[in-house]
Amino acid sequence: MISKPKGCYDIYGTNAKKWQYVSKIIDSLMEKYNYGYIRTPIFESSELFHRGIGESTDVVTKETYDFVDRGERKMTLRPEGTAGIVRSYVENKMYGDAIQPIKLYYNGTMYRYERPQSGRDREFTQFGVEVLGSNDPMVDAEVISIPVILLSMLGLKGVKVKINSLGDKESRDNYRKALIEYFKPHMTSLCEDCNDRLEKNPLRILDCKVDRENELLKNAPKTIDYLNEESKKRFEEVKSYLDELGIDYEVDTKLVRGLDYYNHTVFEIEASVEGFGSNNVLAGGGRYNGLVNTLDGPETSCIGFACGIGRIIQALDLEEVKLPIIEDLEVFVMYVSDTEKKYASSLVQYLRGNGFRTDTEYTGRGLKAQFKQADRLNSKYLIILNDEDLKNDEVKVKNNKTKEEALVSIDYLLYYLDEHLMDEDYDMDECSCGHDHNHDHECNCGGNCNCGGHNEEI
């Protein structure tokens, strides 16, 4: 038997419906924020990621899936979304568009060769946003707000924002020098990777997973102490906009993020999820004002973040958040004879075309087995075809819960199903989130849950 590659997963059944639901919420949220969707290639030139992410990062040195194609070109499966979007921004000259800044979001598959563990896979899906063309601190606050709002909409609690500032180039260079001076006499107490990072990018030492509990790292110089006045002022403005948005945050002076291109604002979004342990970060990002220029574009101020969809699903499962996914069927069409089967084929298509979730029998089972199948599919109504009824242009419709039956004219069938299914929906006392709904079928929670019943039909 051929098995799936290590660190990859088949997503199907109820789990797939959760993924689809989260993606729909993302699309809806991004529409309200006025971010456009972008899709970039799954593989690109290896040079893009080496130049964009940085030669000193673990992603480039250890984790990329690299290959040489038949044209002898060096290619890499994308390990993150930002570099490809910046490449697209430069190649398509988006900096010349009349509408600025360019606000984009993506939701796609990434690949990293690392040891698979909980929440860290070799194939994973990331949702992220990028704003290219604005250095306004208000944009920083808006970008930070997006994952906070998303996680809240999905029903996660205990969401916490951690922010820091790496400052501008001058501030970062001064901090870099201070770290080298601090770590240099003590390198024998750090791991091999940290020794390699000292001259290339000492900030990466602070992000080391091996030495994270080392007292040397805990007592290292703080970025905040090396910010020049302009960088300090900018950081205060970002915090003031977060205050205006009502977003709670904590300044974490040890937060540096793992990629070389960050400057000024960096942030992570955590959630208090039992079972996650210390690795409870659900989203992270920051500002990268120099990356567009590094990839041959004009000087452009940018900021973005990314979060793993699989990680979010895992958090929702651990917190036992019940998503309002559809796991029932509205109509199951049943038959016995060949003529009934042919009619079932067209009737199913007709009902689907008119908006009803509909299925039928495909394996030649008898009526008794079809009733069981309908129960497995949680079908609300059964249509039981009979040759005699069809001669009169009628079908038998059965409520699978109350067991009430009715002979319904084919011409009236759509109206009958519409009316009775709507009555069932209005009979709901509460939604999947546990909140009561009013007669308009909207949730009375004030708009702070994940039920989908806010100003729209469920």
**pLDDT digit of tens for each residue in the chain (458 aa)?**
999 999 899 999 999 999 999 999 999 999 999 999 999 999 999 999 888 776 656 666 678 899 999 999 999 999 999 999 999 999 999 999 999 999 999 999 999 987 777 667 899 999 999 999 999 999 999 999 999 999 999 999 889 999 999 999 899 888 888 888 888 787 777 787 777 777 777 777 777 667 667 777 778 888 889 999 999 999 999 999 999 999 999 999 888 876 667 889 999 999 888 777 656 889 999 999 989 999 999 999 999 999 999 999 999 999 999 999 999 999 999 999 999 999 999 999 999 999 999 999 999 999 999 999 999 999 999 999 999 999 999 999 999 999 999 999 999 999 999 999 987 765 544 444 444 444 344 444 445 455 544 444 33
Taking 3-state DSSP, the helix, strand and coil percentages for the chain, each rounded to the nearest 5, stand at: 40, 20, 40
Query: Are 243 and 352 in a shared domain?
Result: no
Q: Number of folded domains in the chain?
A: 2
Q: How far is CA 344 from CA 114, 368, 394, 417, in A?
A: 51, 17, 13, 16
Structural domain ending residue among the three candidates 296, 318, 340: 318
Q: Are residues 294 and 346 in the same domain?
A: no
d(CA 269, CA 416): 49
Residue where a domain stops, chosen among 264, 291, 318: 318
**193-217 burial code (b ≥16 CB/10 A, e <16):** bbeebbeebbbbbbbbeebeebeeb
Cβ atoms of residues 292 and 298 within 8 Å: yes
Asked if 232 and 381 sit in the same domain, the reply is no
In a domain, residue 62? The reply is: yes
pTM metric for this prediction: 0.85
Three-class SS state of 393: coil
244 lies in some domain: yes
* Contact status, residue 311 vs residue 270, Cβ threshold 8 Å: no
Three-state DSSP class for 291? Answer: helix
Amino acid making up residue 253 = T
> Among 297, 318, 339, which residue terminates a domain?
318
**Range of the structural domain that residue 276 is part of:** 13-168+228-318
Which residue in this structure is represented by tokens 């994270």?
212
What is the distance between the alpha carbons of residues 141 and 378, in angstroms, rounded to a whole number? 44
- Spatial contact of 397 and 379, defined as CB atoms under 8 Å apart: no
